A = this chain, B = another copy of it.
């Protein structure tokens, strides 16, 4: 078996596992840096590796548009193209059809849309989403799901959810590569019953992994947690569970606590490019005057490239519009996320995950209380 998920230990609902793929193993819970266009923005592939990342994410939608999946296939597949020899998961494009493409129209057969790059009219069906991902050669391919804007009428949410299940079955039927696992995507908005129903329908199709989609799209952290509270127990325990597009450090710990194994999010990279650094004492905004002569690194014990420099230097780089500012803060934030989950894995192994989580949350909140910066919980991480 090229794909295998081993559950080593649970601590409450939190899970410590290993996800085995043809390109190596991933210690879970794990965070996947986002490499949308066959590159994690601002970093060389060695730098991505040095953050501690074991698995990364690429995007079907973007790569099919540019450079085109045939180019990547002809160049030996996505791993070789971008120089990453570890596991890769590719998103299916379902979310980008909702968030990025223009004039998206969904029929039972397929979604049609206009490219956000040149406006050309294109189509994406479940079969085509899998064909693209097989050409890319990712280890994990996501099924094409029907993502809708929330809030929406109940029947609209249910219709998209049911289509997502039918499309998942079509994706599964379209698979031809044994070295690629498909993960199904659970939809259903914020409706607990629909979410659980969707989970059980998809579980019957016996996918090697399951994802929770349609979250982190504007709902509150409490609403997200309520969905996870009902969905996680309904998800197959012996398969990896992936929460898509989430989220803040606190979101991650909230979800790990409920049994999620895999994450991806642009938050560490995008915020890094915008001069926001994640720390155990909450976010630091590096453009602020307060850092002008601050000799301290972002975090004393952080092994990243940014923390070899002073906050004063990092601030200067952003004010002077030097690319090195985004580069260094991206490396710091991804390192922060990897350390957060590495420490979470250790805490689960030692049966003290809740204690670990509460200490982290306290640290993030203390900063708000002590220096009155504009980082209020629960949105303090929204940057």
Contact = CB atoms under 8 A, between A and B. Distances in A.
Interface in A41-84: 41-44, 46, 62, 66-67, 71, 74-76, 81-83
Nearest to A306: B44
Contact of A39 (B37, B81, B317): B317
Interface string A99-121: 00000000000000000000000
A13 interface: no
Interface string A296-328: 000000000100111011011101101110111
A145 to B, nearest CB: 25
User: How many of these chains are in the complex?
Assistant: 2
Contacts of A310: 75, 81
A293 B324 contact: no
Nearest to A322: B39
A206 interface: no
Nearest to A293: B74
B312 A71 contact: yes
A38 interface: yes
A193 interface: no
B66 A316 contact: yes
B322 A37 contact: yes
B71 A323 contact: no
Nearest to A305: B44
A75 B324 contact: no
A141 to B, nearest CB: 21
Chain A, interface size category, equals 35 or more
Contacts of A316: 37-38, 66-67, 71, 81
A313 B81 contact: yes
A18 interface: no
A301 to B, nearest CB: 18
A274 interface: no
A368 interface: no
A380 interface: no
Given A316-B38, A324-B44, A71 B293 contact: yes
Contacts of A323: 41-42, 323, 326-327
A42 to B, nearest CB: 5
A332 to B, nearest CB: 12
A312 B42 contact: no
A96 interface: no
A44 B327 contact: yes
Q: Max chain B CB contacts within 10 Å: which of A39, A62, A83?
A: A39
Contact of A82 (B292, B295, B313, B315): B313
A309 B66 contact: no
List the 9 shortest-distance A-B pairs measured between CB atoms, nearest first.
A37-B320, A67-B316, A39-B324, A39-B322, A42-B323, A75-B312, A66-B320, A74-B293, A81-B313
Interface of A: 37-39, 41-44, 46, 62, 66-67, 71, 74-76, 81-83, 292-293, 295, 305, 308-310, 312-313, 315-317, 319-320, 322-324, 326-328
27 contacts: A38-B316, A38-B320, A39-B317, A39-B320, A39-B322, A39-B324, A41-B323, A42-B324, A42-B327, A44-B324, A66-B320, A67-B312, A67-B315, A71-B292, A71-B312, A71-B316, A74-B293, A75-B293, A75-B310, A75-B313, A81-B312, A81-B316, A82-B313, A83-B313, A323-B323, A323-B326, A323-B327
Given A38-B320, A75-B295, A82-B313, 18 more contacts: A37-B317, A37-B322, A38-B313, A38-B316, A38-B317, A41-B323, A44-B328, A66-B320, A67-B292, A67-B315, A71-B292, A75-B310, A81-B310, A81-B312, A83-B309, A83-B313, A323-B326, A323-B327
